Structure 1
């Protein structure tokens, strides 16, 4: 008998708690920890977001599952920004519509999931902003204005071009400073 995906997902999370475990279209994906380049890009993002996050009392979580619905996939972005007292589905999962920004740095082999699969799961769950930093294509992509069928707005900029996070952020990102590796 084949166990449901949710049960297998929990088992894998228990076996490998130090690794990021996600579910994409019914397949369980266990991701290694990031490379030094991946982590350096994340550090650059953190340096730029921290002043706004600290000023507004928000929090940045580096390893939390995004709850997209009872029968939906389970994604773990590289960074999740949440307001004070976000709505949690469980100790390990925050509701998508209770986030302020999700950030992923594309890793080798993960481009399709980050650029296509995740936005299609995040938008119907009400994730307001999803930022994808792609060091391989040297671009940043911001998904905003979520709807039932996906995001209605995608802003794509080459590294070095200005990108401003919309409300509630109203904060510019120095995209050239993100890929200094």
Structure 2
């Protein structure tokens, strides 16, 4: 988060957490770049893609959990609150965590684009910045608009240094510490 954004935030992180805590279950709220964001509820294809990824992670790295819908403290100095589609971490990592987890120990954050108007800004611009600033080693973006998988990695200075993108159908290597190869052929059935 830039200093000017922090100075002009809509509210404090504490106020956001109170609002998010009392929001109905049908609403998913995030606090990104000092702005309150409403994240679209996932559709069926979004859920199927997430289950595809969960199966691949469980088969290749059974000592890790891909935890859906995890709230994380993102951005520089943990001033943002992102509701990930999923995060990858060691088994039992979140046992003592509350709604919003520090990113220490998280190996990968995952987002699958939605059909809402904010997905470009949120998933392609703001979240890579926030996740890199929070030190999450890998950010996996499954982009349903252009049928690609983008692997953001090597966070330094608040930005990911690597960001290769692959069309659905190609094998995708997720770098250390994830160490998983995704067979994305199945994602073609969800291509737009």
1:5–1:167 distance in 2 versus 1, CA, 3 Å = closer
Give how far 1:90 is off.
4.9
* 1:47 maps to 2:55: yes
Deviation at 1:18, TM superposition (A): 4.6
d(CA) in 1 for partners of 2:11, 2:131: 25
Residue 69 (structure 2) aligns with: 63
CA distance 1:89–1:144, change in 2 (3 Å): farther
Among 109, 124, 131, the alignment partner of 2:140 is: 131
Alignment correspondent of 1:158: 167
Q: Report the equivalent of 2:112.
A: 105
- 2:84 is paired with a residue of what secondary structure? coil
Alignment CA distance shift 1:169-1:90 (3 Å):
closer
* TM-score for both structures, normalised by structure 2: 0.82
In structure 2, list runs of 5 or more residues that go unmatched. 1-9
Moved more, 160-169 or 15-24: 15-24
Structure 2 residue matching 1:140: 3-state secondary structure: strand
Partners of 1:9 and 1:21 within 8 A in 2: no
What is the number of equivalent residue pairs in this alignment? 178
* Structure 2 match to 1:172: 181
Structure 1 unmatched ranges of 5 or more: none
Residue 49 of structure 1, CA deviation: 1.1
**8 Å contact kept, 1:13–1:21:** no
CA offset at residue 15 of structure 1? 2.3
TM-score of the pair, normalised by structure 1: 0.87
SS at match of 1:137: coil
- CA 1:4–1:125 in 2, change beyond 3 Å: closer, same or farther? closer
The one of 13, 20, 36 equivalent to 1:12 is 20
How far apart are the structure 2 equivalents of 1:7 and 1:88? 25
Find the counterpart in structure 1 of residue 6 from structure 2.
none
Aligned partners of 1:88 and 1:94 also within 8 Å:
no
Q: Which deviates more from structure 2 when the two are superposed, residues 150-159 or residues 70-79? A: 70-79
Task: Tell me if structure 2 keeps the 8 A contact 1:64–1:80.
Answer: yes
| TM superposition shift of 1:5 | 4.7
